[in-house]
Structure 1
Amino acid sequence: MVCSAPFRSCSAPSVRGTTAGDTSEANSFPRGCPAGAGHEEWQGTTLRLRPTSPAADHSSHAAETGDRMYISRQIIPFFPGGTRGHPRAGRIHRTRGSRTMSMLAASGVGAAALTISALALARNSGKSGEEVAAGDRRTPRSVSVVIPAHNEETTIAETIRSCRAQTHPLDQIIVVADNCSDRTTEIARGQGAVVIEGRGGSKASAQNLALPHITSDAVVALDADATLSPDAVELMMGTLRGGRAGTCTSARPKDTSTVYSQYRTLYHAIANGWVRPLQDRLGRQLVLSGMSNCHRTDVLREVGGFPDDNITEDFNLTWTLHRRAQPVGFTPKAFVYTQEPASLSEILSQMHRWTAGFAQTMVRHRTPLMDVASLIVVGTQVVDAALGGVAICSLPRYLARHGCPRGLLTWWSPLWAAVMLSSLGVAVRQLGWRTTAKCLPGWVAMQGLTGPLIAWWLFREWVLGRHLTTWTGRHGCRPAITPMPRGRKAVLAAGGLATAALLGVLRAAPGHDPSAAARRRRLPG
């Protein structure tokens, strides 16, 4: 190995440098020459490094860490100005800094893997309308709408009007007034809807109250604070006629007036234009969103209606259909316009419910084990969610280590940047550049806040075994989280003790030098 750094001439005053196991006078070197290199190795202004003995080689840890660490321990201390004087010091510190960057780089792996896999493994899980019509099931033609509502007097009239404006005729518009204490029932009847009053206790229970009253071939489930585009039902019925048992619309907030609606606008645009179409190519939609979905009535009754044994009925129903080999699909040109949360606590509560419901559904249905497509769809979501959240948490440490200006410029990875630019390109195509530019700051801010929280909620559900069972919203319930099971506590405690014991063994292993590692961490740069 050759170090091409210029030194003062070889006639410089010498100092005594010794290596382990060798204290002879032969180890006097010109000032600036590191211990372990003989006089005969000086060639002009080029220093050729070669340990003079196996002991010297061991003292420099070259046998353990290679020539790069040899430079770090032997050359750098002899350079005026420390590491800044050595031409390879920058390379050393860039290598060390990249350890933090690697987490952010990995956070784009999920999106890249989903894209590549969907293009490589694409399959059509539906049949043509003619094939279905020739089969043993009738092609769905009639449809009804079910709207579960809890104290929705401010929005229910607009929701019903959007249903009446549909280009496809509706058999019934049924509003399930679930434990309402306001004028929701009165307003819904005034709009001509069939009203069922009850105390379902959950969104799924409220929807199931309407099932016995439905005689249509298909049923649309619609949130009481959402509205449909005029052709939404017609387009979704077209998807069902193409062989799907269920489908859902694209989602878009009604306005972009708050940071929360701006965040959701970009979030939904990227999902509508990138993620959901790729999941459709794999035949595995992650979720037929409960904001607006449509199912064949006979299939819905076969699976027992809307499942009520999970905190999110839409995740649970979607994967119930997957397990029963019932094809589902996405209807991208149909839109539902949603009313977004107006406060931080409300949006975090909603996202907590969605994340917990996703985690509980994945365990209940063992979704990654169903097939390759399921593993890809679920795995890519988890990788990006978990690693992205951890990467955001690592940013303060990275900035403290490298300084704010330099850290902000070097924290990004090429893969993450490519995914980010691709996401913005999809958003511009969906929304236009003006709306995208308006929503971008809110999206970035909320991504930075919710990323670590999502990672924590997944950790609590899957690792700690603490499950969210109720949430603020319907009936004004407080969030309820189950305690950690005793068996899980014992397993985690045993795992912690085993990890501590392993670390102790590694630290006591021959050749381990904690002080040397600490000196390397303290190198300036």
Structure 2
Amino acid sequence: MISLTAGLTGLSWLIAAPFLLLFGIFIMEVAAGIFRTGKDMGDLTSSREKPLKIAILIPAHNEASIISRTISALISDVPAETKILVVADNCTDDTPSIARAAGAAVVERNNSELLGKGYALAFGRDALAMDPPDSVIVLDADCTLGKGSAVKLAHAANRLSVPVQATNLIHSASIASPVVQISNFAMLMKNLIRQRGMTRLGGAALLTGTGMAFPWSIFADARLSSGDLAEDLALGINVTKQGNTPVFLESAGVSSGAAAEEDTLVQRTRWEHGFLTTARVQALPLVISGLRTWSRPQVLLGLHLLVPPLALLFASGFTLVITTGLLTLLGASPLPFLILSITLTTAATATIAVWLLEGRRTLSASALIRIPFYILWKIPVYLKLFGGSETRWIRTRRSGEKNSSGSVDE
């Protein structure tokens, strides 16, 4: 007969073991990605190469307030022969005419049933197919490519014959609310530090939906037409399974302005529900498939998907530390509690180290101490998962547009 102590100890290990794995993956990625090395995939594409036919594909739904600025920034930086194609997707404003006046080619799509960026990209691809480019760069309408990044991305994709992802970060003013700053720091952890770490370990870069380039040979057959909330993540998984492992080009950058606090919650709900839904279906099959085929990129991508978003990871870890601590008081072995506590502390220390090295411009010290409140602010996002994941595509409101109270964000 199993003693009470043995039963409590078994329960404590059962609780601790999965999160020991998740925190172990997180710590491994952060440790591999925390330091800059000065080496980048861009070094492989910096030599003089023949000019390429480059197309920049911009899906745009009611982007009249910003589309001219986005196109103007591109025109000032890319070669004159670059084709900038705006897909005006179900627009009810002046996006098409403004985009044409700014110097872009425009195709208009109207389909009230098939909604989402993936469908817009497929529509744009059909238009490009009449005169295919060598490389296609996908850019969200509210994003800006860093100087020279478009050419770097296009040449890297063409030379390596795989998708290439730029560093995708969100920038906010120093006066932004702590919630927005912390959310943007979480994005830096995901899209720079863990992205850098995973690719250094031999994994696949995550495609983030903007600032990503494809050779036409891959883009022409890519599975774009989907209504997935995380269509970019699903696209990266598909091309990795096909052996076309995406690479991370850190020296190329793409950025966007932060949403207001009200819209940040909507944005994070969509992103994180999409991530968690995709991870639930894809993570373990990727690991198993990667082990069966000896594919390191698939294994590491699957392991990466097992790790929940930052706030959920730490909130869950802290809750389980308390739970295993209570089980210890009831008679369980203290070992699960101690190991989980040490692991959680290590992960928190690694996160603070990232903030010291890379994150202070994104997250102020005064906002840093508000992280516990940020986790509480995120609870509604995760509670919605129990009532069903967010399945609607919801466009994030842009600067200058009215919010729900009727006022205008600056």
Question: TM-score, structure 1 length as denominator?
Answer: 0.58
- Which of 346, 367, 382 does residue 418 from structure 1 map onto? 346
Q: Which runs of 5+ in 1 are unaligned?
A: 1-60, 69-95, 119-125, 131-137, 403-409, 461-465, 476-525
Question: For 2:240 and 2:17, how far apart are their aligned partners in 1?
Answer: 35
* Residue 75 (structure 2) pairs with residue 164 (structure 1): yes
Question: For 1:436 and 1:295, how far apart are their aligned partners in 2?
Answer: 36
Instruction: Give the alignment of 1:194-233 within 5 angstroms.
Output: 194-200=105-111, 201-214=115-128, 215-233=132-150
Q: Which runs of 5+ in 2 are unaligned?
A: 34-40, 329-337, 398-410
Aligned to 2:27: 112
**Matching residue's letter, 2:144:** T
**Matching residue's letter, 2:316:** V
Question: For 1:327 and 1:472, how far apart are their aligned partners in 2?
Answer: 29
**Secondary structure at the residue paired with 1:141?**
coil
Aligned residues: 363
Question: For 2:188 and 2:303, how far apart are their aligned partners in 1?
Answer: 21
Aligned to 2:365: 437
**Matching residue's letter, 1:108:** F
Instruction: Give the alignment of 1:301-340 within 5 angstroms.
Output: 301-303=220-222, 306-308=224-226, 310-340=228-258
Structure with larger Rg? 1
Instruction: Give the alignment of 1:34-113 within 5 angstroms.
Output: 64=3, 108-113=23-28
Aligned to 1:180: 91
**Secondary structure at the residue paired with 2:208?**
coil
Say whether the 8 Å CA contact 2:116–2:393 is kept in structure 1.
Answer: no
CA displacement, residues 361-383 of structure 1 (integer Å, 9 cap, x when unaligned): 617x9322221432333224424
Aligned to 1:236: 153
Question: For 1:101 and 1:322, how far apart are their aligned partners in 2?
Answer: 31
Aligned to 2:408: none
Question: For 1:411 and 1:427, how far apart are their aligned partners in 2?
Answer: 24
Q: Report the alpha carbon displacement of residue 217 of structure 1 after superposing the two structures with TM.
A: 0.6
Moved more, 315-324 or 237-246: 237-246
**Secondary structure at the residue paired with 1:308?**
coil
Q: Report the alpha carbon displacement of residue 360 of structure 1 after superposing the two structures with TM.
A: 6.6
Question: For 2:145 and 2:256, how far apart are their aligned partners in 1?
Answer: 9
Question: For 1:163 and 1:294, how far apart are their aligned partners in 2?
Answer: 15
Say whether the 8 Å CA contact 1:392–1:448 is kept in structure 2.
Answer: no
* Residue 309 (structure 2) pairs with residue 391 (structure 1): no
**Matching residue's letter, 1:308:** S
**Counterparts in 2 of 1:236 and 1:253: CA distance versus 1, 3 Å:** same
User: Percent same amino acid at aligned positions?
Assistant: 17
* Residue 361 (structure 2) pairs with residue 428 (structure 1): no
Q: Report the alpha carbon displacement of residue 145 of structure 1 after superposing the two structures with TM.
A: 0.8
Say whether the 8 Å CA contact 1:167–1:233 is kept in structure 2.
Answer: yes
- Which of 363, 386, 395 does residue 473 from structure 1 map onto? 395
Say whether the 8 Å CA contact 1:107–1:391 is kept in structure 2.
Answer: no
Question: For 1:110 and 1:308, how far apart are their aligned partners in 2?
Answer: 29
Aligned to 2:401: none
The higher-RCO structure (CA 8 Å, 6+ apart) is: 2
Q: Report the alpha carbon displacement of residue 433 of structure 1 after superposing the two structures with TM.
A: 6.4
Q: Report the alpha carbon displacement of residue 424 of structure 1 after superposing the two structures with TM.
A: 2.7
**Counterparts in 2 of 1:423 and 1:165: CA distance versus 1, 3 Å:** farther
Say whether the 8 Å CA contact 1:147–1:221 is kept in structure 2.
Answer: yes
**Counterparts in 2 of 1:164 and 1:297: CA distance versus 1, 3 Å:** same
* Residue 271 (structure 2) pairs with residue 351 (structure 1): yes
**Counterparts in 2 of 1:171 and 1:117: CA distance versus 1, 3 Å:** closer
Aligned to 2:56: 145
**Counterparts in 2 of 1:230 and 1:287: CA distance versus 1, 3 Å:** same
Question: For 2:89 and 2:165, how far apart are their aligned partners in 1?
Answer: 23
**Secondary structure at the residue paired with 1:108?**
helix
Question: For 1:307 and 1:149, how far apart are their aligned partners in 2?
Answer: 16
Say whether the 8 Å CA contact 1:315–1:361 is kept in structure 2.
Answer: no
Aligned to 1:288: 207
Question: For 1:161 and 1:442, how far apart are their aligned partners in 2?
Answer: 38
**Secondary structure at the residue paired with 2:235?**
helix
Question: For 2:109 and 2:187, how far apart are their aligned partners in 1?
Answer: 32
* Residue 168 (structure 2) pairs with residue 246 (structure 1): no
Question: For 1:280 and 1:193, how far apart are their aligned partners in 2?
Answer: 34
**Matching residue's letter, 1:369:** I
Question: For 1:307 and 1:195, how far apart are their aligned partners in 2?
Answer: 19
**Counterparts in 2 of 1:316 and 1:331: CA distance versus 1, 3 Å:** same
Aligned to 2:103: 192
Question: For 1:115 and 1:108, how far apart are their aligned partners in 2?
Answer: 10
- Which of 355, 379, 387 does residue 303 from structure 2 map onto? 379
Question: For 1:311 and 1:97, how far apart are their aligned partners in 2?
Answer: 36
* Residue 197 (structure 2) pairs with residue 278 (structure 1): yes
Say whether the 8 Å CA contact 2:52–2:155 is kept in structure 1.
Answer: no
Question: For 1:189 and 1:433, how far apart are their aligned partners in 2?
Answer: 36
Q: Report the alpha carbon displacement of residue 129 of structure 1 after superposing the two structures with TM.
A: 6.6
Q: Report the alpha carbon displacement of residue 163 of structure 1 after superposing the two structures with TM.
A: 1.2
Question: For 2:157 and 2:241, how far apart are their aligned partners in 1?
Answer: 18
Aligned to 1:263: 182
